[in-house]
Structure 1
Amino acid sequence: MANLFIKQAQQYSKGRPSYPQELFNFIASKTPSHDLVWDVGTGSGQAAQSLAKLYKNVIATDTSPKQLEFAAKVPNVQYICTSPKLSKSEIETKIGSESSVDLVTIAQAMHWFDLPTFYEHVKWLLKKPNGVIASWCYTTPKINNSVDAIFDKFYTSDAGPYWESPRKLVDEKYETIDFPFEAIDGCDHNGPFEFKIEKVMDLDSCFTYLKSWSAYQTAKEKGVELLSEDVVEKFTSAWNEDGKSEKKVIYPIYLRIGKVGNLD
């Protein structure tokens, strides 16, 4: 999975949206203590930076050193490169001991994981019974009818053949992803709960975002330029239709959150 984002690591760090404070406040309200977070698949650290405002320490890991190069340095965030297949000994050395972590977070990455093995690590690390795991994904952005029509075709038809199969879990809003954790206090299910990202974007930023996609890189490696002159022209025409260079962009977010409970 890490190799999918190495060559466009800079575009990834620039193009990917940050997450709303409302999301982190909701997650933090469900963890009894706020000492240690493990942010898995941190990429360039978008989630880790926000978590650092609410927790004393954040350990943010990724299997791609290139991604971590573009992560913003924050005093209470420790960025660590891990092997693709974490062993229990590596977990203990780099993350923590059994029942030592308050929260495990995974932002836009869990669909790439070997979930049975990952969940074993999570259940070992989280404090019992109220340690929390929170995983979320965001789906394609909504801008306006004209741009959305071009965008949706580009996502499904042009880029569609180049998405890896786990991407389907994102399209399904994490509703179908395996998530064997108890509902957190105050909730009667473990999600998905819906939030949204709002940001202002110009056309260049939109193209930077598209180039951050794993499907874009996969197509490029196969000699296919998804952003051909024709596609760029269609995007540009739709974008400029209302005469505004900057637009409000909304990304829907879908959160799965649960607690580890008392394990037998």
Structure 2
Amino acid sequence: MTENATSFGANARRYAEGRPGYPGELFDWIVSEAPGTACAIDIATGSGQAALSLAERFTHVFASDISEEQIAHAPIAPNITYAVASAEKTGFASGVADAVTVATALHWFDFPKFWEEVRRICKPGALFCGWTYGLTEAEPEVQRELLDEVLAIADPYWAEGNRLSLRGYQRDEIGFPFEEVTPPAIRMDLDWSVPRLIQMLETWSAVTRARADGHSATLDDLMEDAVRKFGDAPRRVSMPLTIVAGRVA
């Protein structure tokens, strides 16, 4: 996980500005399934999008990330405590969490060690909920002339963790140890301009790697052409969420 955390940390401001938040209905569901609302722990919080939504619903939120740079760009709230720590050794107290969440990061963890850490920090019956984006989709013209072209360049540069995420967190691949709880089907539907969509694409680690491997000029041309053609008009952009959830015994 460290190499990828370093990569995200180096682009922390871009990540904080480019990545969307998550739907309120997801956090409402987490609250409905948690045994209480005293404490939630958000692991690999990144720039804190999920932690902030949890803080609106739980009395206190502890949030950790291995990247100091990411934590530095996380939103401040009086009931959020941030820590720089690995997912497998958070340093949080034992038996405190009503819910543990991981937003778009589970695929970077050492699973056996991480699941033991989840057991340690959770109250009996606490909810674990991890989720990740599916591939971004857009209106047909934008899909064909921007997204598909960027994906064709970026595809060889996805790390294995990214590919695990894109496969939808297969339970045998992540060694999921808890009694599953069926989550709602949630799809993020956004009205974004093409420049805003490009801002998101630039946060993809595969795009960063493709640029470093000599594809910057091609990517720049694609993105500039899309901005010229589509302008600032809002376009429908969708990101289905894959959610894995379970009851921690």
> TM-score of the superposition, structure 2-length normalised?
0.90
Aligned to 1:212: 203
Number of residue pairs matched by the alignment: 244
Q: Which moved more, 1:231-240 or 1:252-261?
A: 231-240
Deviations 1:95-115 (A, max 9, x none): 112x22111100000001111
Q: Say yes or no: does 1:255 pair with 2:249.
A: no
Which residues of 2 match residues 91-240 of structure 1 at below 5 A? 91=90, 94-97=91-94, 99-128=95-124, 130-176=125-171, 177-178=173-174, 179-184=176-181, 187=182, 193-225=184-216, 228-236=219-227, 239-240=230-231
What letter is aligned with 2:245?
Answer: I
Cα–Cα, structure 1 residues 173 and 238, in superposed 2: closer, same or farther, change >3 Å?
Answer: farther
Contact 1:8 1:211 in 2 (8 A): no
Q: Percent identity?
A: 31
Shift of residue 15, structure 1, vs aligned partner: 0.8
Q: Distance in 2 between matches of 1:224 and 1:142?
A: 22
Q: Which of residues 7, 10, 13 in structure 1 aligns to 2:13?
A: 10
Residue 190 of structure 2: SS of its match in structure 1?
strand
Structure 1: gaps of 5 or more residues:
none
Q: Which moved more, 1:221-230 or 1:99-108?
A: 221-230
Shift of residue 19, structure 1, vs aligned partner: 0.5
Cα–Cα, structure 1 residues 14 and 85, in superposed 2: closer, same or farther, change >3 Å?
Answer: closer
Q: Distance in 1 between matches of 2:20 and 2:87?
A: 27
Shift of residue 236, structure 1, vs aligned partner: 3.0
Contact 2:31 2:57 in 1 (8 A): yes
Cα–Cα, structure 1 residues 162 and 55, in superposed 2: closer, same or farther, change >3 Å?
Answer: same
Q: Say yes or no: does 1:52 pair with 2:55.
A: yes
What letter is aligned with 1:127?
Answer: K
Shift of residue 150, structure 1, vs aligned partner: 3.2
Deviations 1:106-127 (A, max 9, x none): 0000001111110011112211
Contact 2:88 2:110 in 1 (8 A): no
Q: Distance in 2 between matches of 1:60 and 1:214?
A: 22
Deviations 1:139-164 (A, max 9, x none): 12222011112344235320112111
Q: Say yes or no: does 1:72 pair with 2:60.
A: no
Q: Which has the higher helix share?
A: 2
What letter is aligned with 2:152?
Answer: S
Deviations 1:51-100 (A, max 9, x none): 00111111110011111111111110111111x4744xxx4xx3112x22
What letter is aligned with 1:125?
Answer: I
Q: Distance in 1 between matches of 2:217 and 2:39?
A: 41
Shift of residue 206, structure 1, vs aligned partner: 1.5
Higher relative contact order (CA 8 A, sep 6+): 1
> TM-score of the superposition, structure 1-length normalised?
0.85
Contact 1:210 1:216 in 2 (8 A): yes
What letter is aligned with 1:117?
Answer: K
Shift of residue 226, structure 1, vs aligned partner: 6.5
Q: Distance in 1 between matches of 2:169 and 2:146?
A: 21
